Chains A and B, each alone.
Chain A
Amino acid sequence: MAERAPPLIVGAGPAGIRAAMTLVAAGLRPIVVDEGHACGGQIYRQPLSSDGRDAEARYGSEAAKALRLHRDFAALDTLIDYRPRSLLWNLRDGAGDILRDEGSQRVRYDGLILATGATDRVLPIPGWTLPGVFTLGGAQIALKAQGCAIGRRVVFAGSGPLLYLVAWQYMRAGVEVAAVLDAAPLSAKFNLLRALPLSPGIVLRGVRMAAELKLRGTRVVFGADRLAIEGEGRVARIVYQAGGRAHAIACDGVGYGLNLRSETQAADLAGCAFHFEPRDRAHLPVRDASGRSSAAGVYLAGDGARIAGADAAERAGERAALALLEDRGLPHDSSRAAVLERELQRIDRLRDVLEAAFPYPSHWGGDIADDTLLCRCEEISAGEARRAVSDFSLTEINRLKAVTRIGMGRCQGRMCGAAAAELLAAQTRRDIGAVGRLRAQAPIKPIPLAAGLSVHERQHDPAH
């Protein structure tokens, strides 16, 4: 009897790490692919080279979790087939294509756990492509992985828990944080009271961060609207409206973002069904409480399935791995699975509250000024998009892509897709869920044409 192929885990963040541990504990030897040079994912990202800072300085309050995950993953070293700096660029029929060092390899797997994480969600605002503007996540990674700040006097703007966290981390790193511009009104923040019984730690930490920022002189603004970043060739100031008045703040760096969006292309290529999730304003792969997707043998965990944060990701990774074991007919701990599902439910309720406390400024999608660049890869403005919508009577996002090139560039819609959908929905007065979702196409990220050369120099995989 032919030996079964190993399971494949995509992503070595909290979800992927816990999934790998669980599979190893059951005697399997999974393949783990990750684009990063070291494990940890975005949140627990490790520096490229040691910069003298310790984990406390790098991860703050999350240092203990980060260290534990790094250590646990290191302990798997000889027990898994770990492939860092490797891009999974296509998936189909039980095999994945993995690019590493310019060569592509086709890898067969039996059981797939997608722990692909998230990236920042942005809506274009005037000046968002000026040098000196970073996404919130990008600003955080600069600090964590490279130990550098995005500016000397920085403003953070947008929405989501990350807004305050990154601002606070910058402040702690000694950067002058001029302002935190929160798109949500203060009234939304009272929702946090509802979160207290669910997770007092998180709420209090958030409140403390905001308070510390204020104490250090950071201006904290609620209900900041009509953001625009200005400057000649690079960021000089950010302007906004609040309380019916226009304001401006001088700065040389801006961190901006509206929470996160799930990386779902791999799930799409793996054949998972999608559904619209109003809370995330996004189409997400369908999954049940265990992480099973609609496609047999494909499991979803972490922010790649739905934004829920690192703690949920750890649990979801473990839970999905247990489901994989069960489906393989291997012994698995079902009481542990039940505990994990309960904890995931609790975190999910917390996310509901956080979403209410950091609501997405849905009116922004209709407000994007015509001359604002919507798709920066293909350099398409909001006005061009609107013209195409009316000229061709468009109602669906893939048609908008087809006639404008929005989402066809290097980022394949990861950056502009959400904004294009919001704009289309606003212009056609449809619900955001009704405009459809950009269908994923390989390659998930750009791959060198030379990858074709290297694959043919090697022997072909006879199984293929």
Chain B
Amino acid sequence: MTRRIDCDVAIIGGGLVGSSAALALRGMGFSVTLLDKGFCGAQASGVNYGGVRRQGRPPEQLPLSQRAHAIWPRLKALIGIDGEFLRSGHLKLARSAADMASLESYAADVAPFGLALELVGHNQLRDRFGVAGEVIGGSFCPGDGHANPRLVATAFAAAARRAGAEVLENTKVIGLTRNGAGFALEAEGVSVTARTVINSAGAWADSFARAFGEPVPLERTYPSMVVTEPLDPFLGVNIGIEGGGIYARQVTRGNVVVGGERALPLDDPDYSRPRSDGVLTIMQRASELFGPLRHAQAIRFWSGTEATMPDRNPVIGPSATTPGLIHAFGFSGAGFQIAPGVGEVLAELVRDGRTATPIDVFAITRFPPASQPGDASQAAMTTGSKETSP
């Protein structure tokens, strides 16, 4: 029996982007249906590393990132839990003079945005932050931090539900058609009509964009994570490394989460698993950088599926072909921090058709249009086959 729902806004994808948009839209009084093919917060938003950092982002993301930055400390009031958010500071390390120079020039570039970056030398790294290993200096962003991703996205969805959003889990959207003034959306066991649709389907969002004549060069990436047994506190800050390698943080309970390298998709590319040599490499780098890790045990590895765009910037904004369709995906390994801000921006786009936060650089039109653009009024999509990118 197919259930019918009519609402103002249907949101495809209950990651942190979709869930925070749902909550913001409820706050504005819209009727909202949030659909996820699995459980809300079970994909990238719930399984990421948990870095809540502005430092290192392309400058064009910083206005949006700053907007999100103001939301993180208010989580308790907003969603009922603090999400284990810690404003620990984010310390980015440089292993070479060239890396240090690039940290310095980044600091100069983003000075107008007010991240209060502080450049630190080798001795300070050891004395203040307990970092050993071959590091020559770093850049410290005191206002950044980290949080528990497993809780945050799930709690946003739960808060949206409490606020009156219809949250449908295990409900995969398999068809989306533009009809009349709005959309008809088909999912397992339910059909939804909505005036506006938000495509926040994460690593699965490209099929919805393509169906409306807006193909995007979305690729999937699968970062690998290692977590240790609980250890005495030794790492107060969230660590990154200029040029990549690993990133590391210690949670209040004592476990150290270390990310880096890439996992490989399984036969079903919706799922992935860390490569053994990848996790061994992460473990090696981490134990070289931090003395206390040399005798620690790794208890768990995991990875997640993230949508990555070639220019490392997301797609956020209205569809160029289809009125009422709004895209928000492709956060390229850095969407966790920014997502609560994206949710507010999406709600403003629905309500006002515009937002004061600069997002023009994230327009989907920056990618070449389809060779045969779909007719926007007729466009329809059906998923079902698995979409894979190389």
Are A399 and B39 interface neighbours, CB within 8 A? yes
B110 at the interface (CB under 8 A from A): no
Are A441 and B301 interface neighbours, CB within 8 A? yes
Using a CB–CB cutoff of 8 Å, the interface residues on chain B facing chain A are 39, 41-42, 46, 80, 150-151, 154-155, 158, 161, 226, 228-229, 253, 266-267, 273-274, 276-277, 279-288, 293-302
A245 at the interface (CB under 8 A from B): no
Inter-chain CA distance A409–B229, complex, in Å, is: 7
A456 at the interface (CB under 8 A from B): yes
Q: Write the nearest CB–CB distance from A425 to chain B, whole angstroms.
A: 17
Q: What residues of A have a CB within 8 angstroms of the CB of B46 in the complex?
A: 402
Q: Given A399-B39, A452-B281, A455-B280, are A410 and B229 also a contact pair (CB < 8 Å)? A: yes
Are A412 and B154 interface neighbours, CB within 8 A? no
Q: What residues of A have a CB within 8 angstroms of the CB of B279 in the complex?
A: 442, 452
Instruction: Type the 1/0 row for A377-402, where 1 means its CB is closer than 8 Å to any CB of B.
Output: 01000000000000111001011001
Are B297 and A447 interface neighbours, CB within 8 A? yes
Task: Please give 19 more A-B residue pairs, beta carbons under 8 A apart, in addition to A449-B286, A456-B284.
Answer: A106-B277, A271-B266, A378-B253, A393-B158, A399-B39, A402-B41, A441-B301, A442-B279, A447-B298, A448-B297, A449-B228, A449-B287, A450-B295, A451-B280, A452-B279, A452-B280, A452-B281, A452-B287, A453-B294
A243 at the interface (CB under 8 A from B): no
Q: Given A392-B155, A403-B151, are A451 and B276 also a contact pair (CB < 8 Å)? A: no
Are B299 and A412 interface neighbours, CB within 8 A? yes
Inter-chain CA distance A450–B296, complex, in Å, is: 8
Main secondary structure of the interface of A (DSSP, over half): mixed
Inter-chain CA distance A187–B42, complex, in Å, is: 46
Are B276 and A92 interface neighbours, CB within 8 A? yes
Which of these, B41, B158, B228, B283, contacts A451 with CB under 8 Å? B283
Q: Given A392-B158, A442-B274, are A449 and B283 also a contact pair (CB < 8 Å)? A: yes
Q: What residues of B have a CB within 8 angstroms of the CB of A169 in the complex?
A: none
Q: Given A442-B276, A449-B296, are A392 and B283 also a contact pair (CB < 8 Å)? A: no
Q: What 6 A-B pairs have minimum CB-CB distances, sorted nearest first?
A: A452-B283, A452-B284, A446-B297, A452-B280, A402-B150, A449-B283
Q: Given A402-B46, A450-B287, A452-B281, are A412 and B300 also a contact pair (CB < 8 Å)? A: yes
Are A449 and B294 interface neighbours, CB within 8 A? yes
Are A441 and B300 interface neighbours, CB within 8 A? yes
Q: Write the nearest CB–CB distance from B296 to chain A, whole angstroms.
A: 5
Q: What residues of B have a CB within 8 angstroms of the CB of A412 in the complex?
A: 299-300
Number of interface residues of A (CB under 8 A): 37
Using a CB–CB cutoff of 8 Å, the interface residues on chain A facing chain B are 90, 92, 95, 97, 104, 106, 269, 271, 378, 391-393, 396, 398-399, 402-403, 405, 408-410, 412, 441-443, 446-453, 455-456, 460, 464
Which of these, A392, A398, A446, A456, contacts B281 with CB under 8 Å? A456
Q: What residues of A have a CB within 8 angstroms of the CB of B150 in the complex?
A: 402-403
Q: What residues of A have a CB within 8 angstroms of the CB of B282 in the complex?
A: 452
Are A442 and B299 interface neighbours, CB within 8 A? no
Inter-chain CA distance A163–B155, complex, in Å, is: 43
Q: What residues of B have a CB within 8 angstroms of the CB of A106 in the complex?
A: 276-277
Which of these, A392, A446, A451, A453, contacts B229 with CB under 8 Å? A446
Are B286 and A464 interface neighbours, CB within 8 A? no
Are B298 and A392 interface neighbours, CB within 8 A? no
Q: What residues of A have a CB within 8 angstroms of the CB of B155 in the complex?
A: 392
Inter-chain CA distance A269–B151, complex, in Å, is: 26
Q: What residues of B have a CB within 8 angstroms of the CB of A447 in the complex?
A: 297-298
Which of these, A392, A402, A410, contacts B299 with CB under 8 Å? A410
Q: What residues of B have a CB within 8 angstroms of the CB of A442 in the complex?
A: 273-274, 276, 279, 301
Q: Write the nearest CB–CB distance from A106 to chain B, whole angstroms.
A: 6
Inter-chain CA distance A451–B367, complex, in Å, is: 44
Q: Given A392-B155, A449-B294, A455-B284, are A441 and B276 also a contact pair (CB < 8 Å)? A: no
